[in-house]
């Protein structure tokens, strides 16, 4: 949890994100956020990818129950292609957007911060 009211999730390099990992994240979001919803920025490490069933789960109400919006800071063309698939096929239930730079992602998320 950042001081500006945004939750920042740093994803390690060279990992494949699974549904089990995302379920653990939901538990952490619940504990740290006191059952409140927050805007979230996800910063992908190099060569970080997500399994297709995890991608579908990440768009669901079960995964987003503590999120008001999601910004994804992606590094590679492959990540951006997967991101585009995510938006077209999985259709996240919270406002979501892809960025190249974390500062731009943060600026976009400020509109979703509870003031």
34-59: pLDDT as tens digits: 889 999 999 999 888 889 999 999 99
- Domain chopping of the chain, boundaries: 7-112
User: What is the pLDDT, as a whole number, of residue 54?
Assistant: 93
User: What is the pLDDT, as a whole number, of residue 32?
Assistant: 86
User: What is the pLDDT, as a whole number, of residue 115?
Assistant: 61
CA dist., res. 107 & res. 8, Å (int):
13
Tens-of-pLDDT digits for all 115 residues of the chain? 899 999 999 999 999 999 999 999 999 999 987 889 999 999 999 888 889 999 999 999 999 999 999 999 998 888 888 888 888 888 999 999 999 999 999 999 999 998 6
Q: Check: CB of residue 42 under 8 Å from CB of residue 83.
A: no
Q: Check: CB of residue 38 under 8 Å from CB of residue 8.
A: no
Q: Check: CB of residue 79 under 8 Å from CB of residue 50.
A: no
Q: Side-chain half-sphere of 40: how many Cα atoms within 13 Å?
A: 26
- Give every CB contact of residue 44 below 8 A, 6+ residues apart in sequence: 11, 72, 73, 74, 75, 79
pTM of structure: 0.90
């Amino acid at each position: 949890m950042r001081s500006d009211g945004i939750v920042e999730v740093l994803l390690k390099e060279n990992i494949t994100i699974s549904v089990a990992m995302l379920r653990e994240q939901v538990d952490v979001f619940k504990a740290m956020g006191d059952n409140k919803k927050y805007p979230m920025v996800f910063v992908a490490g190099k060569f970080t990818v997500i399994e297709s069933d995890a991608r579908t789960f990440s768009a669901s109400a079960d995964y987003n129950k503590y999120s008001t919006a999601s910004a994804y800071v992606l590094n590679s063309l492959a990540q951006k292609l997967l991101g585009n698939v995510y938006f077209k096929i999985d259709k996240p239930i919270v406002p979501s957007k892809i960025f190249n730079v974390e500062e731009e992602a943060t600026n976009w998320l400020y509109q979703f911060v509870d003031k």
